[in-house]
Amino acid sequence: MPTRPRVLVVQHEDDCPVGMIEPWLHRAGIDCDVLQAHRGRALPASLGDHIALIVLGGSMGANDDAQHRWLVPTKALIAITVAGGWPFLGVCLGHQLAAVALGGQVERNSHGPFQALAPFGPDQAARSDTLLSALPRHATVLHWNNDVVTTLPPRAVRLAQSPDGTVQAARFGPRAWGVQFHPEVDADIVARWQPGPDPEHEAKVIAELEHRRHELHRSWESLIRRFARIARSD
C-alpha cells in the first residue's frame, strides 16, 4: 500500500492538543505526526518527509524564549518552511510565532483578553485567498487569546479582522497562513484551559460551543480540508 502523506504538528502544552485537526486531515487522506515540544522532543531543522507544518496554540507568549526554549527552534522551522514555499498553518500562538519569526511584532492586546465566539471578519483579500476563502463568509470562530499580532511581517497580507480591530488571519507567504482563532477545538478541550478574568462568561462560551458544535465544526472542517488539499497539491 502507498504511504499516506504526513503533516508535522508542533504542540506546546498538554491542554492544547491537535484536537479536531487530526481526524479532519485523516478524512482528507493525511496523517499527523504530533511533536510534543514541551515534553522535550527536539524540533527538526526542516520538514524532511512531511508535506506541511502546523503549529498549535499555547498559553505562553511568542517572545517567551527564555522560559520555553523550544520556541526558538520552532520559529526557525517556521521561517525555513515559509521561505521554502511549503504549506504552513499557525493557530493562535502558532500564528503569533510565525509573525515574529518572519519579522513582525506580537504584543499584549490593548483591548484586553478576548475569550469569545466571534464573527469571522474577512477582508477583501480573503475572498480570493486559496485557504481562507474556504471558510464561510458569515462563519463564527473561537478566540481565546491575550496577545495579538500588532505588526505584520514585510509582504504579509492581513486577511481578516477581529471585532476589536486586531489581526484575525494573515497570509505570510504563497502557502503560509496564520489564524488568531482556534479551528481545532471542541468544548471539552476549551474547558481544560485556564480561566481568564470572567469565568462566568467563559463558561457560557463553552456551553455555546457545545450547543453549536455541529454547525461550527462544519465550517471549521472546511478550512482544514482546504489546507489538506493545498498540502497535497505538489
Catalytic residue among 12, 182, 202, 221: 182
**What are phi and psi for residue 81, nearest 5 degrees?**
-65, -50
Contact (Cβ atoms closer than 8 angstroms) between residue 21 and residue 220: no
Distance (Å, whole) CA 103 – CA 219: 31
Residue 92 annotated to the active site: yes
184 is catalytic: yes
Its sign, for the CA torsion 134, 215, 182, 157, is positive
E strands, the chain, are 6-11, 31-36, 52-55, 88-91, 105-108, 114-119, 140-145, 147-151, 157-161, 167-173, 176-179
- Contact call for residues 112 and 166 (beta carbons, < 8 A): no
Residue with cell 462560551: 205
Among 179, 184, 206, smallest CA distance to 121 is for 179
Spot the catalytic one: 92, 95, 143, 221.
92
Residue 180 buriedness (CB in 10 A; 0-12 / 13-18 / 19+): buried
Given the residues 16, 22, 32, 184, the one annotated as active site? 184
The catalytic residue positions are 92, 182, 184
